[in-house]
């Protein structure tokens, strides 16, 4: 199974509904996050939820904070 898909599943299962719309792409050890979140805190939460994925060496958090 694709690491990007595993990341998507983790975010869909989290209690913060806004994070369920975040898109994840995985390429050569780097997990890239795309989308829009309302606060910097939510941007950090998304990263924290995905940090423990075994194959991920780096997270490229491209989430845009739209306040």
Per-residue pLDDT of the chain (67 residues; tens, 9 = 90+): 799 999 999 999 999 999 999 999 999 999 999 999 999 999 999 999 999 999 999 999 999 999 7
How many whole angstroms separate alpha carbon 19 and alpha carbon 53?
17
pTM for this entry: 0.91
Report yes or no: 63 and 36 within 8 Å, Cβ to Cβ.
yes
Report yes or no: 36 and 64 within 8 Å, Cβ to Cβ.
yes
Report yes or no: 53 and 7 within 8 Å, Cβ to Cβ.
yes
How many whole angstroms separate alpha carbon 59 and alpha carbon 43?
12
């Amino acid at each position: 199974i694709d690491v990007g898909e595993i990341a998507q599943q983790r975010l869909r299962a989290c209690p913060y509904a806004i994070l369920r719309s975040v898109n994840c792409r995985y390429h050569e050890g780097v997990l890239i996050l795309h989308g829009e979140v309302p606060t910097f805190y939510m941007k950090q939460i998304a990263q924290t939820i995905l940090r423990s994925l075994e194959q991920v060496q780096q997270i490229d958090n491209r989430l845009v904070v739209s306040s």
